[in-house]
């Protein structure tokens, strides 16, 4: 390779790492980071430092039929008058207790709290994995180069060497905020995960050199 050809190759590498190639590399990093975090938490219930998240609350909570994923469980608990008479009930007016308005909702007090609700719906309670309906983790699905305003990490971000992960919608951004307040940082990479993402980032960058005949 002549000096002129070498300079051209380096110019092409620089252009790639400031454009399409970097977009692909950083997009892959975002996908991989989120996949590793989600897999660790849903399978082991542990944070980035390897410590288990604290268990689900056993404080009594208010539930209705819509609280249940398994309607057979809702029916078993709430489905008949004799069963309902065994429960303690609260009335919510306009979304708040004891504030009367046109809206009235009756909810049952579930002893054993959220942990019990998970048990009744055949969800894991031995680990805390923040997965009940599955919708929260689905919110973290990678979306690139789309015009919707709820995109977290865009092609432009990636081309500039930036990748961000997080929920796509305001509702689940608030959910994540509440979970972080209660359980600490959730979307953190463990040291091993950082090594994995860094290694693959390096391999992606190396491929740019290979594609331009310099490796």
pLDDT tens per residue, range 74-85? 999 998 889 899
Q: Does residue 121 have a pLDDT over 90?
A: yes
Is 63 found in the same domain as 15? no
In the prediction, which pLDDT does 51 show?
97
Residue 199 banded pLDDT, cuts 50, 70, 90: very high
Is 43 found in the same domain as 136? yes
Whole-number Å distance between alpha carbons of 213 and 5: 10
> End of a domain among 126, 148, 176?
126
The domain tally of the chain equals: 2
Percent of the chain past pLDDT 90, that is, above it, reads 48
Is 183 found in the same domain as 163? yes
Is 181 found in the same domain as 213? yes
In the prediction, which pLDDT does 187 show?
92
Length of the chain, please?
Answer: 215
- Cα–Cα separations (whole angstroms), residue 56 to 6, 46, 129, 173: 60, 13, 10, 20
Residue 149 banded pLDDT, cuts 50, 70, 90: very low
- Domain carrying residue 148: 1-53+128-215
Residue 116 banded pLDDT, cuts 50, 70, 90: very high
Whole-number Å distance between alpha carbons of 75 and 66: 11
Please identify which residue in the block is written with the tokens 């390897």: 50
Is 211 found in the same domain as 200? yes
In the prediction, which pLDDT does 97 show?
52
Is 168 found in the same domain as 102? no
Q: Encode burial over 154-167: b for 16+ CB neighbours within 10 A, e otherwise.
A: bbebbbeeebebeb
Is 133 found in the same domain as 27? yes
């Amino acid at each position: 390779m002549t000096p002129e050809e070498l300079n051209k190759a380096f110019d092409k590498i620089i252009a790639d790492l400031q454009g399409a190639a970097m977009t692909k590399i950083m997009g892959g990093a975002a996908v991989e980071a989120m996949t590793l975090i989600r897999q660790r938490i849903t399978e082991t219930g542990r944070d980035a430092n390897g410590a288990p998240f604290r268990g689900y609350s056993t404080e009594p909570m208010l539930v209705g039929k819509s609280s249940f994923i398994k309607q057979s469980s809702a029916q078993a608990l709430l489905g008949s008058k004799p069963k309902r008479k065994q429960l303690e009930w609260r009335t919510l007016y306009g979304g708040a207790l004891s504030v009367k308005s046109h809206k009235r909702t009756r909810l049952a007090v579930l002893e054993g709290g959220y942990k019990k609700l998970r048990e009744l719906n055949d969800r894991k309670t031995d680990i805390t994995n923040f997965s009940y309906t599955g919708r929260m983790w689905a919110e973290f699905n990678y979306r690139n180069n789309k015009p919707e305003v709820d995109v977290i990490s865009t092609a432009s971000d990636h081309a500039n060497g930036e990748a961000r992960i997080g929920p796509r919608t305001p509702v689940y951004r608030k959910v994540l905020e509440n979970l972080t307040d209660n359980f600490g940082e959730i979307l953190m990479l463990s040291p091993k995960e950082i090594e994995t993402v860094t290694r693959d980032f390096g391999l992606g960058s190396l491929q740019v050199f290979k594609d331009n005949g310099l490796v």
